[in-house]
């Protein structure tokens, strides 16, 4: 029923952050940390992940990141969840399918790869040479470009502001890299409008908030499960199955198809 489906969605949204943090700690040989009733969502998430009570700056940074990534139109994972919901499947099946779509590197990607890029460049004097080498080799620069946006990703602008609130060498270096990458991409790929996407400064913010890199994408999932659930509940109200049409564009058959 709609009521049962809503209860399932609420349960999943509550369970996911607890499950993710517990699995991470078990994978590191640590005991899971019990959630606390006296901490708000983001603070509780960081506490269950690290075992320490986070600073207010860390809490506020992660909170704003989670809000900014909770939903983003009909992206691949949201569309997948809605397609499954249109079949009448339960909430768990819809969320599992959405996570399957998110696991693809062209969709969810991994914000940690943006930090890997900063690590690989190393110092400001290596930025131009490193970027030119990889762009000319046809490689993608992690944290830049978006399938929809042809301007600056507004989420990236907000996360850049949050990163600057932390300050420090990592933030300064990230800003330098962003400026040079965009200039070089405009020079080598004029008119493509390749700007920073949500991954670039999200990686910096999560690093400064104390999240291990292996938890960057799961943290994104902890936010997006709320948006997925809202879409799933909405789609479930429609009794029609989502069934897109497709047009065959392959080789013509050796014999004409008989007219009927």
- Residue 202, pLDDT score: 87
* pLDDT band for position 147 (cuts 50, 70, 90): low
- Residue 192, pLDDT score: 66
- Residue 6, pLDDT score: 97
Q: How many C-beta neighbours within 10 Å does residue 6 have?
A: 14
> What are 83-140's pLDDT values in tens digits?
999 999 999 999 999 999 998 877 766 677 888 888 888 999 998 888 888 888 877 7
CB 142 within 8 A of CB 51: no
- Residue 193, pLDDT score: 65
- Residue 143, pLDDT score: 67
Domain spans in the chain, listed from the N-terminal domain onward? 2-107+213-236, 112-208
Q: Tell me: domain 112-208, CATH 1.10.230.10, correct?
A: yes
Q: At what angle do helices 112-121 and 127-136 cross, to 10 degrees?
A: 120
- Residue 130, pLDDT score: 87
> What are 188-242's pLDDT values in tens digits?
777 666 677 778 888 899 999 999 999 998 999 999 999 999 999 999 999 899 9
Backbone angles phi, psi at 196, to 5 degrees: -65, 140
For tokens 């936010």, what's the residue?
Answer: 223
Give the total residue count for the chain.
Answer: 260
146 tagged catalytic? yes
* pLDDT band for position 166 (cuts 50, 70, 90): very high
Of these residues, 63, 178, 199, 207, which one is catalytic?
Answer: 199
207 tagged catalytic? no
pLDDT, average across residues 45-52:
96
Angle (nearest 5°) at CA 7 between 5 and 13: 105
Q: Two tokens at 199?
A: 């991954």
pLDDT, average across residues 149-162:
79
- 146 secondary structure, DSSP code: -
Of these residues, 24, 146, 178, 207, which one is catalytic?
Answer: 146
Q: Tell me: domain 2-107+213-236, CATH 1.10.490.10, correct?
A: no
Mean pLDDT lowest for which of 10-19, 32-41, 74-83, 198-207? 198-207
53 contact partners, CB below 8 Å, separation of at least 6: 39, 43, 47
Global pTM reads 0.83
Q: How many C-beta neighbours within 10 Å does residue 158 have?
A: 17
């Amino acid at each position: 029923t709609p009521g049962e489906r809503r209860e399932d969605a609420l349960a999943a949204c509550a369970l996911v952050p607890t499950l993710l943090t517990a699995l991470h700690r078990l994978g590191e040989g640590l005991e899971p940390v019990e959630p606390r009733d006296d901490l708000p969502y983001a603070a509780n998430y960081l506490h269950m992940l690290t075992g320490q009570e986070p600073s207010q700056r860390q809490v506020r940074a992660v909170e704003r990141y989670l809000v900014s990534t909770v939903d983003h139109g009909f992206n691949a994972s949201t569309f997948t969840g809605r397609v499954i919901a249109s079949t009448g499947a339960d909430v768990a099946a819809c969320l599992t399918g959405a996570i399957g779509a998110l696991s693809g590197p062209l969709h969810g990607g991994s914000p940690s790869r943006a930090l890997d890029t900063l690590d690989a460049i190393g110092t400001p004097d290596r930025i131009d040479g490193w970027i030119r080498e990889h762009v000319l080799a046809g490689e993608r620069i992690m944290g830049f470009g978006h399938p929809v946006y042809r301007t600056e990703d507004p989420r990236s602008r907000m996360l850049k502001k949050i990163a600057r609130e932390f300050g420090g060498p990592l933030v300064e270096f990230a800003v330098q890299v962003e400026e040079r990458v965009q200039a070089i991409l405009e020079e080598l790929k004029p008119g493509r409008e390749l700007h920073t996407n949500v991954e670039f400064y999200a990686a910096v913010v999560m690093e400064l908030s104390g999240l291990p890199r292996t938890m960057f994408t799961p943290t994104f999932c902890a936010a997006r499960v709320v948006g997925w659930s809202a879409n799933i509940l909405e789609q479930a109200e429609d009794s029609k199955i989502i069934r897109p049409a497709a047009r065959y564009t392959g080789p013509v058959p050796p014999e004409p198809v008989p007219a009927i």
